[in-house]
Amino acid sequence: MISPSVSALVDGEVYVPGLPADHLVDTYGIPADQIAKLGSAENPHGTSPLARRAVEQVLDRMSIYPEWTSRQLREAIARRYGVTPEGVVCGSGETEVIALVIRAYAGPGEPVLMHAPCFPLYRIFATMENRKPVYVPMGKDFNLEMDHYLDALASRPKIAFLTSPHNPSGQLVSEADVRRVCEAAHEDTLVVLDEAYIHYSETEGSVHLLRNYSNLMVLRTFSKAYGLAGLRVGFGMSGNAALIEPLRRLKPTWNVGQLQLAGAIAGLQDDAHVARAVKTVVEMRGYVAQQMASMTRFRMVPHSRANFFLTEILDPALDSDIVFEELLKRGVIVKNGNHIEGLGSRYLRVDLNLKVHMDRFLNALNDLPAR
């Protein structure tokens, strides 16, 4: 009988993405322009205009294979972040780079360290490939418990994932903690710092540490602050190009297309678009915190530095399935905590977006009938 090599490929859990707006249009007849889509961490201002123009200009290139290593994009990234082009690998979204890292650096049965909860794809890719996820539980209000994380490094994981800001809590990993992890990691351990949401923290992140630590790789994406989630481009960087070379060998050959390359190269220059998104997100973080402070049935989990935050459900008569469905009926899509492993049924992850959408979310929460 023909069967997959790993049982997780048959019955393992797959990723549950944020719902598309069409779902509410089709299910509840809510007009598209009255829907607040707050479950996929997308850019409040949409696509980078520079990227859009660049893509429009290269439509004719669709008949031509792209340069298979994304050389021009790697060069642009290298200039921007002070690494060499050989120290950069590009993927069809950062997600692809995560999958490559797991395949290349952890063998079957070998441990891959991550927080619980965390971005589900670390765990999903690891189990699909028969690698072994190992978790560091987060503390009260999603404290990263970095001392425990450091203790866990003693078990010599092959890969140690850190997410900064962390998904789903938005907690920022301090530069000092990234240093501590790189220094404490056993020589077999690759430290992978996922900075998908770093722009929204209003810090430069820890890319500069690539100069100091040869066991560090930093991952980023064009999906968030550049507004290019539908284009699908992400990348990994290391100051130690030898860590990147296996990923380039392993990747599907032409994994980044002509339109992706042109859009990403232009998007990387679009500082104005990034700044606009960051400004909106930071303003709305303060606004929503203020508005939620007076709520008794819900609470904003503090200290998010990302473009989303966790809402804790305080009312014991409610859980995240109930609130998620009730919000849908009111035209608001969020992420149900039950769909993020390790988060449980008392939380929702909610994007920070335009004020009109945040007001839809706040009004919907206030509108939920008592049970």
| Shortest distance, position 66 Cβ to ligand PLP, whole Å | 18
- What is the Cα–Cα distance from 273 to 19, expressed in whole angstroms? 25
CA angle centred on 204, ends 106 and 138, rounded to 5°: 50
Fill in the per-residue mask, 111 to 150: x = in contact with ligand PLP (CB under 6 A), - = not in contact: --------x-------------------------------
By CB under 6 A, tell whether 206 contacts ligand PLP. no
Left, alpha or beta for 141 (phi > 0: left; psi -120 to 50: alpha)? left
- What is the Cα–Cα distance from 115 to 112, expressed in whole angstroms? 10
Candidate list 69, 70, 167, 304; residue touching ligand PLP; CB under 6 A: 167
Instruction: Give the gyration radius of the chain's Cα atoms.
Output: 21
Cβ closest to ligand PLP, residue 250 vs residue 314: 250
Region from 93-101, 104-112, 150-158, 171-179 binding ligand PLP, contact rule CB under 6 A: 93-101
Cβ closest to ligand PLP, residue 119 vs residue 213: 119
By CB under 6 A, tell whether 196 contacts ligand PLP. yes
| Shortest distance, position 251 Cβ to ligand PLP, whole Å | 14
Cβ closest to ligand PLP, residue 229 vs residue 368: 229
By CB under 6 A, tell whether 163 contacts ligand PLP. yes
By CB under 6 A, tell whether 66 contacts ligand PLP. no
CB 212 within 8 A of CB 236: no
Region from 92-100, 127-135, 313-321, 327-335 binding ligand PLP, contact rule CB under 6 A: 92-100
Which pair of tokens denotes residue 166?
Answer: 């962390």
By CB under 6 A, tell whether 110 contacts ligand PLP. no
Q: Which residues are paired to 310 by β-bridges?
A: 349
- Convert 57-98 into a string of H (helix), E (strand) and C (coil): HCHHHHHCCCCCCCHHHHHHHHHHHCCCHHHEEEECCHHHHH
Site for ligand PLP in 24-43 (CB under 6 A): 41
Cβ closest to ligand PLP, residue 163 vs residue 280: 163
Neighbours of 367 (CB within 10 A): 11
- Three-state DSSP at 298 gives strand
Candidate list 129, 194, 270, 351; residue touching ligand PLP; CB under 6 A: 194
By CB under 6 A, tell whether 195 contacts ligand PLP. no
Q: Which residue has the tokens 């690891």?
A: 126
Region from 29-37, 91-99, 175-183, 356-364 binding ligand PLP, contact rule CB under 6 A: 91-99
Amino acid at residue number 156: R
**Cα 362 to chain center, whole Å?**
24
Query: 34 phi and psi, to 5 degrees?
Result: -110, 15
Question: Nearest to residue 110, comparing CAs of 122, 126, 98?
Answer: 126
- Three-state DSSP at 53 gives helix
By CB under 6 A, tell whether 221 contacts ligand PLP. yes
Cβ closest to ligand PLP, residue 66 vs residue 227: 227
By CB under 6 A, tell whether 229 contacts ligand PLP. yes
| Shortest distance, position 115 Cβ to ligand PLP, whole Å | 11
- What is the Cα–Cα distance from 335 to 344, expressed in whole angstroms? 12
Total residues at the site for ligand PLP (CB under 6 A)? 13
| Shortest distance, position 200 Cβ to ligand PLP, whole Å | 12
- What is the Cα–Cα distance from 115 to 149, expressed in whole angstroms? 8
In the complex, the residues that contact ligand PLP under the rule CB under 6 A are 41, 93-95, 119, 163, 167, 194, 196, 221, 223, 229, 234
